[in-house]
Chains A and B, each alone.
Chain A
Amino acid sequence: MRTSRTKIRCLAVLLAVGGAFALCLPSAAVPMWARRYNVACNTCHNWPAFQLTATGLDFLRRGHRLKGDGFDKDWTHLVAGHVEWEYDAASGSTNQFNSPNFHLHAGGALTENFSGYLNANVNNDIEAAYLQYTKEWGDDTYFTARGGRLGPTLLRNYGNGLEAGASDPLILTATTLNSNPFTPDRLNNGVDVGGRYQWFFAQAGVLNGDDVAGQASVGHHKDFYATLEANPDGVSGVGLYYHHGGYDLGDPAAPPQLNDSYHREGVFANYSQSLFRIAGAYLYGKDHVATVTPDRKIHGWYAQVNGYPSGWVAVWARYDDTKTQDETGQVHTRQGTVGATFKVFEMNTTSARIALEAGRQQMPGVHTNLGVVNLLWAF
């Protein structure tokens, strides 16, 4: 009797899981738009990597909408989700078996000119949330303005957008200078305006930086950023980046604070074809901290090659080199990373990919071997 009941329960679970799969809809990295426009992942991404294609980049800049779009009442075209699980291994450290993250995505055109986007990491915080206005003239000229939690589109294309695996270039996500916690590839609350004219896309914004508990407070500071990109074929090209910000460094509970005024400047470039992509960037920065002389400095670069030999796999290799210089001395970090991303499956109901990467980081007197396994399922 018990066996029979167990079998029925197992069958019910199988039916539920099978039903859930069957009810899932066509998917992509952000599948709601794949559903809306009835296109595959590789229209906007170099799937199974997430690097944006020319189509994807223009779609992002226009507020995740196409010219002439209006509000779509079909909720399956407005909402999507993905579950991501990552295992990080580093020699000499306790390996991390991270909990799966669930992301809720929502957005698209609200009216002919207004659109919205939300990327909420349910386990953590809101990664992006903004309203956007876009006004177009002709096919390749438009003005756009955003407000909410956002970051420079340029860095989306070279930061997270460079994703062939799970890790990002050190100069964008990992390298900070002394007690200044700033990294370019982050999102903050603010407003920005941008526009495209033929090959060129420019964007500028004002952001309210994040306080870092016990380390730095933004106080009255407001950060400013500006970018300029030239993309003759829509995605390959050169980009310039400038960020100026301020922090009150030190323990906010123990004044006096050290007023830190800093800036970062970068030049980015990539050459993209359907089967490969070569990308790189150089970043330079300087911090002027009250009572500290001389100014603290940071500079670094990376070079990355991506290969897209088939729709099943994307391979890549990246070299990172960063130097930070402050009153205590210089830290030179070098890292080589290789990786591959495999499509686990992609069908009319759902899709998934797995990214594997291995790296070796070298700092003065320390070598660290790194490994990442990242599994992502979008629906």
Chain B
Amino acid sequence: MTTATRKTKSGIGGAPEPATAAAPAARDRWTTAAIAALALVLLVATALSMPAAARADAAAGAQLYKDKCVGCHGADGSGSTPMGKALKVQDVRKPEIQAKTDAELAASITNGKGKMPPQKGNLSAAQIGEIVAYIRTLAKK
């Protein structure tokens, strides 16, 4: 491709130039173009990466939620399970719950709240973050 382009440019430019003299300039142009393309790709990837991570968090959190939370909070987060009703657990879809920050929700899961047992030592901070991400998605369902 490079050779072909070089030939074409040589043709348009009139008298053929020695290939050895034209190569550094063409290489520079292509290097610049490659860096620009790479930068563009990186910019796009960076722009897309945040939602993708959140989606990945929520997906991982769905499984953790199913393992650790669904017995009381229910698959839909409403808390309408036998244990949830007995413990009067809150509907995690409620605006008051969703209004809490991620850090506040993570703290409640980590240290427990009311009759909810703490998950400190059972789940890592990253896993708790994934559950929080999944809880956010329940509000939209």
Interface residue ranges, A against B (CB under 8 Å): 37-40, 42-43, 53-55, 66-69, 139, 234, 274-275, 309-313, 346, 348
With A54-B115, A68-B82 known, 20 other A-B pairs at CB within 8 A are A37-B81, A37-B83, A38-B71, A39-B72, A39-B83, A42-B117, A42-B122, A53-B115, A55-B86, A55-B87, A66-B82, A66-B83, A66-B85, A69-B82, A274-B117, A274-B118, A310-B120, A311-B121, A312-B121, A348-B67
Q: Does B119 contact A (CB under 8 A)?
A: yes
Q: Are A274 and B111 in contact (CB under 8 A)?
A: yes
**Cβ contacts under 8 Å, B82 to chain A:** 37, 66, 68-69
**Main secondary structure on chain A at its contact with chain B?**
loop
Find the B residue at minimum CB distance from A273: B112
- Least distance between A196 CB and chain B CB atoms (Å): 13
A38: contacting residue among B70, B85, B121, B122, CB under 8 A = B70
Interface residue ranges, B against A (CB under 8 Å): 67-68, 70-72, 81-83, 85-88, 111-112, 115, 117-122
Q: Are A311 and B119 in contact (CB under 8 A)?
A: yes
Find the A residue at minimum CB distance from B67: A348
**Cβ contacts under 8 Å, A54 to chain B:** 115
**How distant is the Cα of A39 from the Cα of B86 in the complex, in angstroms?**
13
The 9 closest A-B pairs by CB, nearest first: A310-B121, A311-B121, A38-B71, A39-B71, A311-B122, A42-B117, A66-B86, A37-B83, A274-B112
- Least distance between B92 CB and chain A CB atoms (Å): 16
**How distant is the Cα of A234 from the Cα of B68 in the complex, in angstroms?**
23
- Least distance between A45 CB and chain B CB atoms (Å): 9
**How distant is the Cα of A66 from the Cα of B85 in the complex, in angstroms?**
9
**Cβ contacts under 8 Å, B68 to chain A:** 40
Find the A residue at minimum CB distance from B113: A274
Q: Are B83 and A234 in contact (CB under 8 A)?
A: no
Question: Which of B83, B85, B87, B120 neighbours the largest number of chain A CB atoms within 10 Å of its CB?
Answer: B83
**How distant is the Cα of A360 from the Cα of B93 in the complex, in angstroms?**
53
A53: contacting residue among B81, B117, B119, CB under 8 A = B117
Q: Are B120 and A43 in contact (CB under 8 A)?
A: no
**Cβ contacts under 8 Å, B71 to chain A:** 37-40, 43
Q: Are A67 and B115 in contact (CB under 8 A)?
A: no
**Cβ contacts under 8 Å, B67 to chain A:** 348
Find the A residue at minimum CB distance from B82: A66
**Cβ contacts under 8 Å, B122 to chain A:** 40, 42, 311, 346
Given A37-B82, A66-B82, A310-B120, A139 and B88 touching (CB < 8 A)? yes
- Least distance between B135 CB and chain A CB atoms (Å): 18
**How distant is the Cα of A43 from the Cα of B87 in the complex, in angstroms?**
10
**How distant is the Cα of A53 from the Cα of B70 in the complex, in angstroms?**
19
- What are 26 contact pairs spanning A and B, CB under 8 A? A37-B71, A37-B81, A37-B82, A38-B70, A38-B71, A38-B81, A38-B83, A39-B71, A40-B117, A40-B122, A42-B117, A43-B83, A43-B117, A54-B115, A66-B82, A66-B86, A67-B85, A68-B82, A68-B85, A274-B112, A274-B118, A275-B118, A311-B118, A311-B120, A311-B121, A346-B122
**How distant is the Cα of A309 from the Cα of B120 in the complex, in angstroms?**
8
**Cβ contacts under 8 Å, B117 to chain A:** 40, 42-43, 53, 274
Question: Which of A42, A68, A310, A346 neighbours the largest number of chain B CB atoms within 10 Å of its CB?
Answer: A42
**Cβ contacts under 8 Å, A346 to chain B:** 122
**How distant is the Cα of A66 from the Cα of B117 in the complex, in angstroms?**
18
**Cβ contacts under 8 Å, A234 to chain B:** 115
**Cβ contacts under 8 Å, B115 to chain A:** 53-55, 234
**Cβ contacts under 8 Å, A69 to chain B:** 82
**Cβ contacts under 8 Å, A310 to chain B:** 120-121
- Least distance between B2 CB and chain A CB atoms (Å): 58
- Least distance between B64 CB and chain A CB atoms (Å): 12
**Cβ contacts under 8 Å, A55 to chain B:** 86-87, 115
Question: Which of B71, B72, B117 neighbours the largest number of chain A CB atoms within 10 Å of its CB?
Answer: B117
**Cβ contacts under 8 Å, A311 to chain B:** 118-122
**Cβ contacts under 8 Å, B120 to chain A:** 310-311
- Least distance between B62 CB and chain A CB atoms (Å): 15
**How distant is the Cα of A53 from the Cα of B68 in the complex, in angstroms?**
17
- Least distance between A315 CB and chain B CB atoms (Å): 13
**How distant is the Cα of A275 from the Cα of B117 in the complex, in angstroms?**
10
**Cβ contacts under 8 Å, B87 to chain A:** 55
**Cβ contacts under 8 Å, A313 to chain B:** 121
Find the A residue at minimum CB distance from B88: A139
Given A42-B122, A43-B117, A311-B122, A67 and B72 touching (CB < 8 A)? no
Q: Are A43 and B72 in contact (CB under 8 A)?
A: yes
**How distant is the Cα of A285 from the Cα of B31 in the complex, in angstroms?**
93
- Least distance between A53 CB and chain B CB atoms (Å): 7
